[in-house]
Amino acid sequence: MRLHQNERFTAHSPVGIETIKQLVETFPINEYPVEVIDQAKASYSAYAGVRPTQLVAGNGSDELIGYLCARYAGPESPVIASQPDFVMYQFYADRARADFSKVPLLDGMALDVDGLLAAPGNIIFLSHPHNPSGILRKEADVRRLLDSGKYVVIDEAYIDFALEQSMVGLLDEYPNAIILRTLSKAFGLASLRLGFLIASEQIVAEVESIKSPYNVSGLSAAVGIAIMAEPELDLVLEETFASRDTIARLVEPLGRTYPSAANFVYVEYEKAERFTERCANAGLRIRLFDGAFRVSCGSTEAMEILEKCVEEELQCVVGQVNE
């Protein structure tokens, strides 16, 4: 069972599935996608509460990270990010031949704002909710970063699980603010690769100037429009939150956890490698970090396996203490 990539575990509704089937049968795949991408941007802008002209569509938000690094970073302009954070920031910095300024997080996964501001570079990436811990960033911290005049990319890949905490409102105040969104998580379209950059019209124009044409599959855009129109997200969130609460309760005895606002729980545990292997042997794939592990929300069956693995791990710990 896949609990290592933060994928949505709930199925799409029968209506949604039927709509997708109809699109596959009728979509004009012989045509280059132009109007449908504009329609997808219009649909998502309504959801995000912004203007369609503030959006760039991407082949997943990963591609948009690449465009931002290509446009605003380079050999003489490093990319800045906290560590740990989403690994693709460094991947695309490397592709842009830009140095990568790593700024360690403070205790509790808090941003080191002073460190980020002091680091060389003109563009800062941060995830909100934070990946891998799931905690929300403080708006006051992000405002301090924006006040520096540097480009600040707020990666909201998981914000649909805490939409009221989105920082999209900062776009009206800061022309250097950039938001990234994706339909891979809560909307469950990871395989179709559809994401959006939200920013000022000037930044949109600058990114569009280096973007390849037809970078998003027309069929992906059409499915995205259809899924955004389906009223199933509330149920998805309800089931995700229930699973998240279960995970947090089960793993709490193993180590330090964080208040996650995403669809996963991160645990600092000195025997994380052993526990990850234990889960793998039981058919459960979770994500290993240095001295920590992360568990994505999953089905009731997956939670039962996780519970058994935690019980076995605790018995192992007790056995070691008694030796």
Q: Nearest Cα to 81, choosing from 17, 134, 155?
A: 155
User: What pLDDT sits at residue 323?
Assistant: 46
Where in the sequence is the domain holding 56, given as residue range(s)? Answer: 31-229
What is the predicted pLDDT for the residue at 320?
Answer: 64
CA triple 133-135-140, angle to 5 deg: 135
Q: Are residues 207 and 239 in the same domain?
A: no
Q: Strand 151-155 relative to strand 177-182: parallel, antiparallel, unpaired?
A: parallel
Residue 208 within any structural domain of the chain: yes
Task: Say if 284 falls within a structural domain.
Answer: yes
What total of structural domains would you count in the chain? 2
pLDDT of residue 231: 79
Q: Is residue 20 a part of any domain in this protein?
A: no
**Claim to verify: residue 172 and residue 269 sit in the same structural domain:** no
Neighbours of 283 (CB within 10 A): 11
Pick from 229, 254, 275: which residue ends a domain? 229
Question: 40 and 188, same structural domain?
Answer: yes
Distance CA 179, CA 164 (A): 15
Distances in Å between the Cα of 286 and the Cα atoms of 4, 109, 114, 254 are 4, 20, 33, 15
pTM for the model stands at: 0.95
Main-chain dihedrals φ then ψ at residue 256, nearest 5 degrees: -80, 125
CATH of the domain at 225: 3.40.640.10
The SS3 call for residue 137 is coil
- For the chain, 323 residues long, the average pLDDT of each consecutive 10-residue run is 96 89 93 96 97 98 98 97 98 98 97 98 98 98 99 99 98 98 97 98 98 95 93 92 98 97 98 98 98 98 98 84 48
Encoded amino acid at 48, one letter: A
Whether residues 97 and 186 fall in one domain: yes
